[in-house]
Amino acid sequence: MGTTRTQVGIIGAGPAGLLLAQILDKAGISTVILERRDRSYVEGRIRAGVLEQGTVDLMRAAGVGERLDREGLIHKGIYFSVDDVRTQIDLEELTGGRHVVVYGQTEVTKDLIAARLAAGGDLRFDCVDVTLHDVESDKPRLTYVSGDSEHEVVCDFIAGCDGFHGPSRQALPASLLKVYERVYPFGWLGILAQAPPVADELIYSRHPRGFALYSMRSMKVVRHYIQCLPDTDLEDWPDDRVWDELRLRLAPQDQHLLQTGKVFEKSVTPMRSFVAEPMRFGRLFLAGDAGHIVPPTGAKGLNLAASDVHYLSRALMAFYAENSEAGLDTYSETALARIWKAQRFSWWMTSMLHNFGPADDFDTRVRGAELAYVLSSRAAMTSLAENYVGLPF
Ligand code: APR
Ligand code: PHB
């Protein structure tokens, strides 16, 4: 068995694991990343694409902000389309000059992998059966199989950045782990297509036929979503039907703005809110989707992974530089305080904008009133804008 020694063993080469490795590497802390999939799979995964200022700052500080600064699209506002009226929410004006940057998570991942490999960092793909050992000791270990041989990584700490389905969260004892969850009765059917954006900013549309979101990746590539049933079969959704549905969920006077084009990706994302507590057990720390999932309506998933990484990297740097465990001890509590606020926002945006079914009941009316209130009140819109651009780390 080949054994490697490192300071922080990281499971998962998604944005959380890669960004953590990049920041620690800059601080002179050694890391090994173990990823189950191959590089092309990881680089091809399509996810959301709205970065908060704090995430952008973190990418820049980690030395991976160059292409993001060049190609990212600055968005100073968003639109809500409701009952045939499109209203602008001026993020910059409402938040004293803050904005978001539209840049695909796929690109974030590619930039982080390129930086890691250029720096000669240890990043291992195709790791089978990654298993955590001795996480309560001060020399935890990871084992995995690659090819025909078994390997071992001995470290000081393990960062569980292995997403929702990874083994890290399962390594917490059932008696300690508490899970909070909400599953929504719908999903999003998303497409990537070669077409110009519908408008200068993203449009979030609440429509009797269901929610739709008109987003973009560049001035030539759009990312659009429609609310669908969670078990939707893509066979039932040929491109023409998707475009027709996207058009119908715009306000009538905006429908001519939708331009169609070649669809090159189509998938269905289920929607759930999920939080696991605590995010630490012994020398194991969870970060990103390993600890929590948000529905994509507020575009918070990647940004939460970034804020976790910010807290965890600072705690690890303080440990190695000053022998201080204070940041490690408070990591779970500090990260969760921000996570719950983003959970609230994502749940609230999801509730307010989606169609929950045909019932005309009390809840439906309250959701409608909530949205009408937000769009008529500067105070409420300011709150929405403050959360959308991202609460401070
Ligand atoms: N062993 C090694 N790696 C694993 C294992 C395993 N058993 N299981 C999962 N992984 C890897 C996945 O293949 C993936 O590359 O862990 C990585 C987790 O990455 P993400 O799922 O992208 O999660 P995270 O890095 O926390 O990023 C959060 O991703 O899902 C979105 O909305 C979410 O935008 C947010 C972001
Ligand atoms: C996206 O462009 O993929 C996107 C944008 C905003 C969201 C969710 C996803 O709220």
In a domain, 89, yes or no: no
Task: Give the count of beta carbons closer than 10 Å to the beta carbon of residue 368.
Answer: 15
Q: Is residue 80 part of a domain?
A: no
Query: Residue 265 in contact with residue 168, Cβ under 8 Å?
Result: no
| Same domain membership, residue 363 and residue 285 | no
Residues 119 and 225 in one domain: no
Q: State CA 185 to chain mean position distance.
A: 20
Same structural domain, 149 and 284: yes
CATH number of the domain at 320, please. 3.50.50.60
Torsion of CA 99, 192, 255, 294, to 10 degrees: -50
Closest C-alpha among 14, 62, 74 to residue 41 = 14
Q: How many domains does the chain have?
A: 2
The CA angle 259-42-116, to the nearest 5 degrees, is 115
The reply to whether 224 belongs to the active site is: no
pLDDT one-digit tens code per residue, 119-147: 999 999 999 999 999 999 999 999 999 98
Q: Does residue 83 surpass a pLDDT of 90?
A: no
33 shares a domain with 69: yes
Q: What is the mean pLDDT of residues 145-166?
A: 96
Residues whose CB is less than 8 angstroms from the CB of residue 28 and which lie 6 or more positions away in sequence, other chains included:
320
User: Can you give the CATH number for the domain in which 370 is found?
Assistant: 3.30.9.10
Which residues have a Cβ under 8 Å from the Cβ of 81 and sit 6 or more positions away?
87, 203, 204, 205, 206, 207, 250, 251, 254
Average pLDDT, the chain: 97
In a domain, 338, yes or no: yes
* pLDDT higher than 90, residue 1: no
pLDDT digits (tens, 9 = 90+) for 94-123: 999 999 999 999 999 999 999 999 999 999
Please pick, among 103, 184, 204, 225, the residue that the annotation labels catalytic: 204
202/338 same-domain check: no
Q: Which ligand is nearest to the CA of 299?
A: 2
CB atoms within 10 A of CB 249: 25
Residues 12 and 117 in one domain: yes
* Residues of the domain holding 297: 2-75+100-180+272-349
- Between CA 133 and CA 274 the distance in angstroms is 26
Q: Give the total residue count for the chain.
A: 393
- Compute, in angstroms, the gap from residue 171 CA to the centroid of ligand 2: 32
pLDDT on residue 47:
86
Instruction: Report the separation in Å between the CA atom of 245 and the middle of ligand 1, taken as the mean of its atom positions.
Output: 31
184 in helix, strand or coil?
A: strand
